[in-house]
Chains A and B, each alone.
Chain A
Amino acid sequence: MQAPPQTVFVARGLTKTYHMGEVEVPALRALDIEIYQSEFIVLLGPSGSGKSTLLNILGGLDTPTSGEAFWRDHNLATADERELTRYRRDHVGFVFQFYNLISSLTVRENVALVTEIAPDPMTPEEALQLVGLEQRMDHFPSQLSGGEQQRVAIARAIAKRPDVLLCDEPTGALDYETGKVVLEAIARINQELGTTAVVITHNASIAGMADRVMHLANGHIVAVETNPHKISPSELSW
């Protein structure tokens, strides 16, 4: 008998409105969501559907205009900047669409940037091994291909042993083959370390590797699919 899955994220009535001058732009409209321990979630939706806003709030980069958002017992909606920083530092790993590596630091140093401030990190070498980059540790970002850079970003994100890995279009700037390598790395972290992963993508084919796929539109979750048969990234095609 399987134990009931443990909820790590809960959001209720999550609303986010941006003010652009005098115009109010709603990004999230009273959205509800629950995410469980070790789940692999894919967020799908067109531009402006609220995917990134949701991810930012889950990652403690942004706070909602109204509504509740909890990560375990952390109230992310009411946390101040200091608490959010603490939360990100201790629990969250980010992978950005544009990698956002520090160009003046080598691969190893980019990872060390995180391991230095995390409470229980792996070594940069271990993290890089998990993404298959142990051979390129002393290269600078400018000496790497896009896929390699994104894998460094993943290594950097997982080196702290985060509870949750948040990826914003991790393959958005990559070609097909490279994109697959990157997705494999993310899947591996999710499976081997049990890290909850939330991945934003435009690419519906990636949905095959998720436990659940959430479709967003106009700031709502319009549909949630549960995937009974997860496939490995190598079997994906688009």
Chain B
Amino acid sequence: MKTLDLKLLRDLWHIKSQVLTIALVVGNGVGAFVTQLSTYDSLQWSRLSYYEASRFAQVFADVKRAPQAVEQQIAALPGVADVETTVVFDVTLDIPEVAQPVVGRMIGLANAGQPRMNRLTLRQGRLPEADRANEVLVSEAFAKARKLKPGDHLTAILNGKREALHIVGVVLSPEYVFSSLGAFPDDKSFGVFWMNREHLGSAFDMEGAFNHAVLRLAPDAGEQDVIAALDRLLEPYGALGAHGRDEQLSHKILSQEINQQKSMSMVYPTIFLGVAAFLLNVVLSRQVATQRGEIAALKALGYTDLAIAAHYLKLVLVIVLIGILGGFAIGAWLGHFMTAMYTEFFHFPRLSYRIQPWIFLVAAGVSLLAAIAGALGTVRSIMRLAPAEAMRPPAPVRYRRMLLERLGLEHLLSPQARMIVRNLERRPFRAALTAFGIASSVAIIVSGIFWRDALDYMIAVQFNAADRGDASIAFTQPVAARSRHEIAHLPGVLAIQVARSVPVRLRAGHRAYRTVVLGLPANTGLRRMLDADLRQIPLPPHGVLLTDRLADRLGLKVGDRLIIESLEGTRARREAVVAGLVNDLIGLSAYMEIGELNRLMDEGDSISSVAVMLDQSQTKDFYARLKEMPKVATVAIKALLLQNFRETSAKNVLFFTTLVTVLAAGIAVGVVYNSARIALAERTWELASLRVLGFTRREVSALLLGELAIELAVAIPLGLWLGYLLSAAIVALTHTETFSIPVIIEPRTYAYAALTTLAAGLASALIVRHRVDHLDLVAVLKTRE
């Protein structure tokens, strides 16, 4: 080994705790990067291989009822490689030992065999026998959530008729990688079933007809062209509008999540590596300042500038390499863990975790670049240092009269306080960066756990302020408004509110969007439209209210006109005025007064769902009666949805909070510990002199740590503010159409971030204080550096 490298190793060993704390910050950044990118890549890869293996369809079309013969016409459309049709119905399920009715999506299986597209993966049991009409397959997610297995029985209400079903197999489908009725994962109250198509069809009077078609396209076909042709073809059959994978719920939610991972993968690593670069800069410049004489001597001895610069650069690179290797280990472990966590929401036959070599290469490359950037200034000063410096003693540090004196305020401070302030003033840039480094730890914690507050807020707004009913009952098809009386008289029902929802395509100029118009009574009791300040917006007698984000998307403002195309029944096409905007946090919808909507649809008093408020003591009877009601297609029970959501999210929130806290605390430790160590190293001589002059350990420590205390005091409020900005930036980065996530941060989150950072900072400072207490006065004073 070359002697210079030996020096490197000894130098590293000498500052080993600083090496480790900086490597920790680098490691956390690399770890976060590897975790998020490898999770992104693995999800992407799992999805791709699953879609290919299962021949996931590319275009989806729902109609009210189309004769089977239309399938041939679809197949003949240019660009269509394959088409398959079936019947799909959402029904109410009655599962023994489950009080509430739950929603089942029944999908017909032709000849009870595997479909050509969206092929099922059999996880347990077998496929149904062709001649056994009541044999069904169940989606694995629901089977797990409801503890169902082959051999179990349950009852479904198929078009008003109770039918006993026999589970023979548990399967996965690429159409239901994510399964839910809404946007929240809810495997307990929504299950997917596959059963004999003829039997399902006949139960719903759909013999020789279909209501769901899936297509795969020829390699060179344009998706939009096929969709347009398909819409024209299916128009007479009550087409709801064909769409590609981008609007297929499972694919859409999965893609949103995958893309979120990708856009997030840059945010935290950037902060970590920025802080690491700063710490490396501080440590290296300190190292160089201490070794000025040695550097000059090396030059005088004939070492080239380049060789000496490389020697110090190696010091930085070794620290970073330790961090990178640690980060790889953290990243591989966490990535595996996170990918596995996704199996709670996303149901793949095999969620394969892998780390592509390029992820390691990019992580290592970016870290090394950050380190070199941090070291560059100091390395340049090494190059510039004249070898003749070796002949001179070190110059005393220059202090000048600073702000304090110029303001004439110095008399307000004790000499000790003046020393602290002057030290801060002497290196304002470093003090500012130290404060900024600590602040970034606070900010990361805030931005990592504000989600909990945002979700709580969304739930409070959506499910308490806006949607005030306890359950929502949807009918199999629109029914006369008088049916509401039946619901109103069910046991435990305190109040009801009817609604009519119509699937529509809204058009404004060249822009269009598929959604539903919800018709509500003008006096909306259980369902309220809210503005950004949560004030109720009254439903206007005429015109339509739009979710503000929908209005943006369509380029509309209040007073503009838009076209509403019904995708149901009469397929009415009407013009309406935007009467106001609603601040929905979930989904993009339109609202009208129900009578106005009925008129628009050329129909009588018709409703499609009823929201109810329940007497909580009678819910059991209410559920039991509902399970018997033939017209009821689905029942969404708020409490159940929320409970399921909280159960799944609680674990993830806890994991994520812990993770972010640990990673961010690494920054706080790294910054505070290194700042204190450097301050100590720079001022050991001075502090020892003060001790000799009779200062107590406490007073001397106060001088040293006073600087840090001021930096912490500035850093924490700054960090809270940065945390807010960072949270807002993350929301903007991970923006999806489904949710409008509010940047709501509760005091408890701020307090948690401030206190954990403070604790990490104090712990690090105390370790350094311990060193001050054990200063060897004689030894220190003998060797003036």
Contacts and interface: CB of A to CB of B under 8 A. Distances in A.
Interface in A40-88: 52, 55-56, 59, 61-62, 81-82, 85-86, 88
Given A61-B387, A104-B10, A88 B302 contact: yes
B4 interface: yes
Nearest to A112: B3
Contacts of B412: none
B715 to A, nearest CB: 34
A56 B391 contact: yes
A105 B10 contact: yes
Given A85-B305, A96-B390, A96-B391, A113 B300 contact: no
Interface string B24-59: 000000000000000000000000000000000000
Counting chain A CB atoms within 10 Å of each CB, the highest count among B298, B390, B783 belongs to B390
A199 B684 CA distance: 35
Contacts of B391: 52, 55-56, 61, 96-97, 168
B6 A105 contact: yes
Contacts of A59: 300
A52 B389 CA distance: 11
B299 A109 contact: no
B388 A61 contact: yes
B390 A62 contact: no
Contacts of B387: 61, 88
A17 B386 CA distance: 16
Given A105-B10, A112-B3, A113-B3, A100 B297 contact: yes
Contacts, number: 87
Given A103-B294, A104-B10, A112-B3, A85 B390 contact: no
A137 B165 CA distance: 90
Interface residues of B, number: 27
Majority DSSP secondary structure for residues of B touching A: helix
B357 interface: no
Contacts of B297: 94, 96, 100-102
B737 interface: no
B299 to A, nearest CB: 7
A88 B14 contact: no
Contacts of B388: 52, 56, 61-62
B303 A62 contact: no
A90 interface: yes
B304 interface: yes
A187 B162 CA distance: 114
A81 B385 CA distance: 12
Contact of A82 (B7, B10, B303, B304): B304
Interface string B293-326: 1101111111111000000000000000000000
26 contacts: A52-B388, A56-B391, A59-B300, A61-B299, A61-B300, A61-B387, A61-B390, A82-B304, A85-B305, A88-B300, A88-B302, A89-B301, A90-B302, A94-B300, A97-B391, A100-B390, A101-B297, A102-B7, A102-B294, A105-B7, A109-B3, A113-B4, A117-B301, A117-B302, A156-B301, A168-B391
Given A96-B391, A100-B390, 12 more contacts: A52-B388, A52-B391, A61-B299, A61-B300, A61-B390, A61-B391, A94-B297, A100-B296, A105-B7, A109-B7, A116-B3, A117-B303
Interface of B: 2-4, 6-7, 10-11, 14, 293-294, 296-305, 386-388, 390-391, 393, 783
